[in-house]
A and B are shown apart, each in its own frame.
Chain A
């Protein structure tokens, strides 16, 4: 008879070893880190590299903790700025569990972490807002020159201008981070950044802002209207001026032309009529004759004597002979 190996015990041992291995092995995902606890007390450092790992079966427990960057989304809350404007601030931050052991000891779960973040960041944000004027958390770039709408280029008031800042939004955010990070670090949380998501006027301030905007726009509108009227008046004035100029120049020119012509005509006449005494006598005679033609018309009564040149033959054929008395 061959010596037989006892089959059953071998199978039992193999199965037991397999079960032991299964309970000892655990996986760590890329997205998590693991804290091993022994009877509730953390043992060693956090396991952060993903893959298959081993632990002491039965006595050690696996606690999985998030490794990725997490999001803190603050609740929008109302707070006053340094210039007493009430605004609603909604901020967010990024954080991750930097020291998993510390985190596990102090907080255990995410809900309590978020509640700590709410407390610490909420108050830091409130402090930062109260220390700064509103414009400091609105603007970022200190020396930016705004582009201007040519149409409203020289409007009065603050239209088209940016309010000046000393720090700017990015710096204020950095200050909040710098103040909050150490306070949150003790919980094993690494605060990566805090940013303002939304900043808005509260309802009552908003109404006033709207009123101001409306008045600003109306002011611009008035300017356009007045500019229109002014331009129109200018054009009409120019029209009057041009008309007067044109007409008076025309008058001057016509008078000059006519005067010159009259002068030249006079000269021509004078030259003709004044060339000799005979010419002058003839002219006088001709002109007188012409005048008779014009003056003596059919409603004229003419009393003539026989002494005239015309009727002298009426009495005598030869008037040159003296009449006998």
Chain B
């Protein structure tokens, strides 16, 4: 057999041609018969639309020409949905909603009829690919709906203070338990791993007043501290000073008694001598005193008791000069 390309003639044997054609056919057939399932997925095999089996990752064979259909479900991938925040760009189409929807998503009413904005995420995995594919047409959206409903149920049973501050953990765990129960009851085919609260705040117009409460709390602590400071500045010092005064008084007491005893001892000693010769002792003391006292006295006038009227004066001390 000759094939002409341009002016060149190729001599090709018909048998070779047949082999090549056969090989091409085989390859094309093989390519529709062989398929792979990715590591993170499981494959659901349908024959004429009916479920036949679930296959694990790896290379597999199926019937060609659309008789068998394989649906891959990423069962090992951790999936996430964000509520009230988030940006597009994830491979999971139900991970976020549009930005204007997010505002409605995070606004909630609490059980004391206050408002709060709650942002949260759920982490989940597809744990039953058959159920995930065949039970719900929009499993991701349904999960979002249920998650919102459950979160509002939990928040609706709590006060705004619980939601914003003290009850966060409890809300997470309670929402997780309820969501797991609902998802199981529905048979969506997913398992919820986690519910996490993100930003939980009072609505923006109310936020300043919540801050005010915090500030007031701080102010209270501050004024108590200041007062305690004043107390601490004065009272221990006063205690010390009181101790000081008492010690001084005790010192005085010791001194007073010691002196008294000293004086008494001295007096007794003197008395003993005095009793031996009272007249002489008395006289001696008198004269000693006079000796000590009289020189101190500036003007001394000595009168004779016999002299009367114009008295002769005896000037004992020298008068300072007078003009």
Contacts and interface: CB of A to CB of B under 8 A. Distances in A.
A286 B257 CA distance: 21
Contact of B153 (A27, A169, A206, A209): A169
Interface stretch (A6-14, A121-129, A137-145, A176-184): A137-145
Q: Which of B205, B252, B293, B306 has the most CB of A within 10 A?
A: B293
Interface string B218-256: 011111101110110011001101110110111011101
Interface string B188-215: 0000000000000011011011101101
B246 A141 contact: no
A209 B113 contact: yes
A31 B282 contact: no
Dominant secondary structure of chain B at its interface with chain A: helix
Contacts of A235: 224, 227-228, 230-231
Interface string A135-169: 10011110010111101100000111111000001
A229 B222 CA distance: 10
A158 B135 CA distance: 45
Contacts of A306: 302-305
Nearest to A71: B138
Given A138-B156, A140-B153, A254 B249 contact: yes
A30 B149 contact: no
Contacts, number: 359
Interface residues of B, number: 115
A320 interface: no
B239 A246 contact: yes
B285 interface: yes
A309 B291 CA distance: 13
A104 interface: no
A4 interface: no
Contacts of A200: 104, 107-109, 115
A257 interface: yes
B264 interface: yes
B222 A269 contact: no
Contacts of B302: 303-306, 311, 314
B56 interface: no
B51 interface: yes
B262 to A, nearest CB: 10
Interface string A237-259: 01100110011011101110110
B137 A66 contact: yes
B172 interface: no
B127 interface: no
A262 interface: yes
Nearest to A252: B246
Contacts of A257: 246, 249-250, 252-253
Contact of B289 (A209, A255, A273, A289): A289
B308 interface: no
B180 interface: no
A225 interface: yes
Contacts of B142: 69, 71, 94
A224 B51 CA distance: 67
A142 B31 CA distance: 62
26 contacts: A28-B48, A28-B50, A30-B50, A30-B51, A70-B137, A71-B145, A140-B153, A151-B217, A160-B159, A195-B146, A196-B152, A198-B148, A210-B206, A212-B114, A220-B213, A228-B223, A231-B224, A235-B230, A246-B238, A250-B245, A254-B245, A264-B253, A272-B268, A298-B296, A304-B302, A304-B303
Interface of B: 46-51, 104-105, 107-115, 133-138, 141-142, 145-146, 148-149, 152-153, 156-162, 165-167, 170, 186, 202-203, 205-206, 208-210, 212-213, 215-217, 219-224, 226-228, 230-231, 234-235, 238-239, 241-243, 245-246, 248-250, 252-254, 256-257, 259-261, 263-264, 267-268, 270-271, 274-275, 278, 282, 285-287, 289-290, 292-294, 296-306
Interface of A: 27-32, 49-52, 66-71, 73, 76, 90, 92, 94, 134-135, 138-141, 144, 146-149, 151-152, 158-163, 169-170, 195-201, 206, 209-210, 212-214, 216-218, 220-225, 227-229, 231-236, 238-239, 242-243, 246-247, 249-251, 253-255, 257-258, 260-262, 264-266, 268-269, 271-273, 275, 278-279, 282-283, 285-286, 289, 292-293, 296-307, 309-311, 314-315, 323
